[in-house]
Structures are given as structure tokens and as C-alpha cells.
Structure 1
């Protein structure tokens, strides 16, 4: 397994297959957002090569992200290729809009778990927030994923105080009713936005737990995952209620993951700009996996010890989440 300079094991990569989405989310609200030319995006074959190189270095888990990965042409080819690797888990993050069409094929390709972004269950608010999104398409995708039989399905909701904080109990009830996990995420300062003040809209995980504990009995779970979520549970339910707290409960000390963007940048930390250019190596030395693996190992020395987020409306990271990978 990869070991970075702070002696943390890196066994999980997030592989972004596109910087494009079919509707926007809280991290991509700018009217001025631009997309990369197609030639700058890694091909599916290059993405598969990156995945194979990481697995040979000891990585056990790969998550496919975007943008919205399921809009990438022929993306199922990539899932099938990665599904043949000796992985503990192949997983997916999606906005759910195309999940109904692909759920069975994803399960057949070896995907074990799916994360679905869902910030509201109000159809009108959903359309207003996403510009073009249809909540019913996402709900159909959730039901199709449940029917396909994935090991776990988790909803991810980014919570803002005056946007959807009042819906947190409703989202939990939905998760409990449909035997889903759910994680609530503190907003991160990625990209320049004008639609709200990050400082005024910030809602901490502790605030959300306090709110939920007026409605539900929450018990902390001891079997924490290796990821950033810290999980609680309603007695008698199998659903896990997670809180991802990059501001209020920094989780850097247990970070076990890196990201590869759609353009082939190996991003060592979500909250920093440290990166290595894998696309250049892939195209300068096609088929030479040893050079690629050495570059990955060398890049681990760039991984910062932690991120330093604030509530300042000036973005600490100028790239939006679509360019980073969810």
C-alpha cells in the first residue's frame, strides 16, 4: 500500500471520469464555470491504466466520480475493466439522474456501493437549485439501485442553514424508510460563488446532530469507516447517519485517499492545490506502467499534512468540485 510522508496508508483513490454534469450542485453554482476541451480529458483506456497502476501499488478501493460519471460515453466499459482488478471495492458517486438506466449493468460490472447526491426532497426546490434537474429521475434511480441489490446505498446532502437545514429530519426519515445510509456534509470553500455567503450559511455537524436528536434517538457507531464520515444510528434501523465535517471536526489525520481528476491531475488533498500531472506521463510514455507508478509514489511526498478551511467567502481552492472529482 502507498505510504505518504506522514506515514498514512493510502488505499483508496477517487477517479473522476468527466468534469461535466447534467445539472449543477452546491459546489458548481457559478454562471462562469467552464469545462475542459475533450483532448485534455483522460480517455477511458488512460483512466483504466491509472486504476491498474494504483492497484499494483496496493490500493484496494476505487471510487468513480465526476462531474456526473454516468453521462460519459461508453463509461460502462471502464467499470467492467476496473471490475476485473483485484479490488476490495469498486464504488460510484452519482447525482442519480441516469442511475435507473445503468443500475443493473453497474452491479454486473462489480460495483458494490453507490453514493447519490441529494440535497432536498422538495421537487420545486430541487429544480430551482439544479436549474434543470428532475427529482423524480433521481428517486427512480434510487429505487432502481435498491432493486439491483448493491451492498449499500448512501445519500449525500450538503447542508446550508437557509437552504435545506430544515429538511434534514425529512431526509433522514426517507433514508430510514428505504434502508439507505445518509451523510450530511459541511460546505467546503471550493470555487468562487455569488449565490450565498459561506459564513452565514454554514451549518456544523454538531448543530445538525442537535437538531436530529430532538426527533430521533441517535447512538454513535463504534465501527467507523476509513472515510471521513462519522456515523450514528437510530436504534432498530440498519441505516447509518453520517456527518462529514471538514471545518468543525477535521479528519485529516485519518485520510486514506487521493483523487485523480478527469484531466489526469493526481490531487493529494481536497483542500490544497498540491498535484502531479499523470496525463503528461501517460501520453509521453504510453504503456509504461512502471514510470506511471514511480510518479505516483513520488507524488505522495507532496501530500499535505492537513487542510485549513475558513468561512471566508474568498475561495481557498479556485477549482469547482466538477474539476476535482466528488
Structure 2
């Protein structure tokens, strides 16, 4: 069976799977206030279809899988899917969640075989959380983070999308969180893939790092994971901090991933328009879809704040 190596020599061994297009938040940079029109149930991949796609992918070189959404925990019985995927021999099985529902599910997810979790959190201020997400769920998210740590879903990673004039005044608060707790804080550049993409809110990783370095000396660090973050540690800190520079210092030359949308399409690139339909296919046709996806994988993304009509919002891709 042919392995997943694209035309630029990149080895594709990481699959991000959006298991639902639904979400219980309405983050301003991710989707409009009214949300997006959800796909019909018949259009969404079943768990059995997802397992079949992953099995074929493993034969072709997929070693790592991340479950995303929307918000993956709004889909019923996600533990069943985690259990089945965990039994396939993957090197790493992880999830990205907003943690609103995590406090009651962290332990069962761990028992089902989930290795670790990334949690999206852009502010530690309750009023600001309500403004960014249009929901008053910050206490639930903080409880979810504690539950993830208690369940040993480690490393627990916290993803903060930094927005100038919105939450950039909290950078040191998040750094302090990584000093006190065994968390991996990642500062992510704001991207034009959502409801209110505004160039004025963009702040580069270089600027973010410089602001933090005014108070703390940063030492290079290594941490487990599949992502492109550049990690650092502060002397005496329990956790680490990382920077993901999707726009200012893109990491496309080392991209090792494909994305599978909830409505059964491979996306070779986060910001690309190309999509390969895969629902209802036989194993041989799934293999062909994988190969077509890597054939269409571009050398680099074309994210640009001047473009506002992307095919999908971030909530429909899974990040």
C-alpha cells in the first residue's frame, strides 16, 4: 500500500478529524453570532466510517490522530470512538476541546484511551470570556482544565489566540498560570478564518515573545506533541510556554497533516479550498482519496486578512 508522502517530500502521518460541526460556544473569531448552518445528520461521518478511514490511514502511514469539532464533546458517546481508535495501535490519540463539558468527561475519556488534550482558552477574565465566546462558561472551562489534569490527560495544553486590544493585556497572567501549574501554554497568532477577521487584531509571535521577555528569561524547551509550536521554559516553572506562528513565520515546509471534516471531506490544507469527498467509500477508494489529498496539498497556505470569503469558518474545519 502506497505511503503518504506528498510532492514536496513531506511525510504525512497526522490526521485531524472533525467529528461534529456543532459547538456550544460562539467565539467571535471562529463563527458568526448566530452560528453556522449545521449539516444534516446523514451528511456527518458515522463513528464506524471514521474508524474505517483511520484503519486505512494507519496502513498508509498515519500514526497520530486528533479529534476536533466544532466541539467534539457535544457529540454523544464520544468515548466509544476514542476506545475504538485507541485499540488500533496509534502512537498518539489526542483531542482539542473548549472544555465546557470536560469536567464530567475527562476521567471516562482517559479510561477509553485518550492520551492527552488541548484546551482552547483565550482569557481568564469572566466578562471578557463572555464577550469573546458570547457565552458565560468560564467557570466550567476552568473546572474542565482541573479535571483533565486530575485524569492525567497530559500534557494538558492551553491554546490562547492572542488578539490585540482584546486579550493581549493578559499575556503575563497566562504565563503565571504556566509557572504555577503543570500546563503547556501556547500563544497562537490570530488567523483570518472566522466570523470577525480583522487585521487590526493581529499580533505576531515575535511581538508576544518580546512582551513576555521583558519580565521573564525564556529558555528553549522540548515537549511532546504533533504541533509546530516553539517551546520555552521559565526557570522554576511547573509548565512551559509555546508560540505558534501560523502567519508571521509559517511552518508549512514541515506540515505533516491532513484534515477530515465532519461532513466527510479531506482538506489537504487548513486554508485551502480543495476538498476530496470520502463518505460511503470502500477501503480501496478511501486509499485513493488519501492519495488525492496529498497530491493536492499545497507548498504553503494562503491565509490573508484581505480575503473574507473562505469556504469554511474555523469551526467547520477543526483548526
Q: Same fold (TM over 0.5)?
A: yes
Superposed CA RMSD in Å reads 1.7
Mind listing any 5+ residue stretches in structure 1 that lack a counterpart?
A: none
Name the residue aligned to 1:278: 278
**1:161 has 2:164 as partner:** yes
Equivalent pair of 1:258/1:266 in contact (CA under 8 Å)? yes
Name the residue aligned to 1:310: 304
1:133-144 matches, within 5 Å, as 133-144=136-147
Name the residue aligned to 1:2: 4
Q: Distance in 1 between matches of 2:313 and 2:12?
A: 24
Structure 2 residue matching 1:315: 3-state secondary structure: coil
Task: Give the direction of change, closer, same or farther, for the CA distance of 1:322–1:135 in structure 2 (3 Å limit).
Answer: same
Name the residue aligned to 2:190: 187
Q: 2:113 aligns with which of 110, 113, 121?
A: 110
Name the residue aligned to 1:12: 14
Task: Give the C-alpha shift of residue 309 in structure 1.
Answer: 2.3
Q: Distance in 2 between matches of 1:167 and 1:21?
A: 25
Equivalent pair of 1:260/1:266 in contact (CA under 8 Å)? yes
Name the residue aligned to 1:25: 27
Deviations 1:187-223 (A, max 9, x none): 1111453xxx622111100110011011211112367
Name the residue aligned to 2:130: 127
Matched length: 316
1:1-326 matches, within 5 Å, as 1-31=3-33, 33-193=36-196, 198-221=198-221, 226-279=226-279, 283=280, 285=281, 288-312=282-306, 314-315=307-308, 317-326=310-319
Q: Distance in 1 between matches of 2:27 and 2:256?
A: 25
User: Which shows bigger deviation, 4-13 or 211-220?
Assistant: 211-220
Deviations 1:216-275 (A, max 9, x none): 111123678552211111123352211111111110001011110000110001121122
Task: Give the C-alpha shift of residue 182 in structure 1.
Answer: 0.9
Mind listing any 5+ residue stretches in structure 2 that lack a counterpart?
A: none
Q: Distance in 1 between matches of 2:116 and 2:226?
A: 15
Q: Distance in 2 between matches of 1:251 and 1:19?
A: 26
Q: Distance in 1 between matches of 2:294 and 2:272?
A: 14
Q: Distance in 2 between matches of 1:324 and 1:85?
A: 24
Task: Give the C-alpha shift of residue 318 in structure 1.
Answer: 3.5
User: Which shows bigger deviation, 105-114 or 288-297?
Assistant: 288-297
TM-score (ref. length: structure 1) = 0.92
Q: Distance in 2 between matches of 1:26 and 1:248?
A: 22
